[in-house]
Chain A
Amino acid sequence: SQKIEQNSEALNIQEGKTATLTCNYTNYSPAYLQWYRQDPGRGPVFLLLIRENEKEKRKERLKVTFDTTLKQSLFHITASQPADSATYLCALPASNDYKLSFGAGTTVTVRA
């Protein structure tokens, strides 16, 4: 099964700075990877999907990269705002075609 590691430490940053989160995986390289956002007391919400042939994907102030050689995805929040404070989860397909394996998440706090 896939082992997924995200930043174990919570990230505290100043408003306006860029937050960079890492997602490392250890086994087979997936064809794609997803990122979700989870607010306290809520279920995760889908943000982005990046495929193995895409080096980078952007959505508004979010940027995701996918390096299959390093077995790593980086998730960047640029020009961060207090409203970006949440836990961010990466998810990779499991061994079959319908399951996702989720990382434990990285909690980001943006200070005004």
Chain B
Amino acid sequence: GAGVSQSPSNKVTEKGKDVELRCDPISGHTALYWYRQSLGQGLEFLIYFQGNSAPDKSGLPSDRFSAERTGGSVSTLTIQRTQQEDSAVYLCASSKQGISTDTQYFGPGTRLTVL
């Protein structure tokens, strides 16, 4: 595909359930970012993957959040025991080299609603 894709586009879950969000970056992009966007807020950095390097997990809000990137491509963000405050849009972005002058290409996001 030409762009970054994310699935599902919408996810409604009950408090306490686990959810998995998927991101397919642009082919050949070595860097992948996850962000969270709450209503009226800026993008909150969650995690960064670059090639085979150890990910930067410094933005993950709690140990209920984890992410993997398999084969340097697809990434999955997992939220365990979801809470209502986890409701937000989760955005994934990829870039060619993973330096901050790179353009970040964003997916459409997954809107997560925790009831």
Contact = CB atoms under 8 A, between A and B. Distances in A.
Interface of A: 4, 32, 34, 41-46, 49, 89, 93-94, 96-105
Given A94-B100, A97-B100, A43 B106 contact: yes
Contact of B100 (A4, A43, A99, A103): A99
A86 B35 CA distance: 19
Interface size class of B (residues with CB under 8 A): 20 to 34
Nearest to B10: A41
B40 A43 contact: no
B88 interface: no
Contacts of A98: 31, 48, 50, 56, 98-100
B99 A97 contact: yes
Contacts of B103: 34, 46, 49
Contact of A41 (B4, B35, B108): B108
Contact of B48 (A45, A49, A89, A99): A99
A49 to B, nearest CB: 7
Nearest to B35: A102
The B contact surface, by secondary structure, is loop
* Chain B CB within 10 Å, residue with most, of A44, A45, A93, A101: A44
B42 A89 contact: yes
B4 to A, nearest CB: 7
Nearest to B48: A98
A108 to B, nearest CB: 15
B27 to A, nearest CB: 17
A102 B98 CA distance: 16
A98 B56 CA distance: 10
Interface in B76-115: 91, 93, 98-101, 103-109
B101 A42 contact: no
A43 B108 contact: yes
Contacts of A102: 35, 42-43
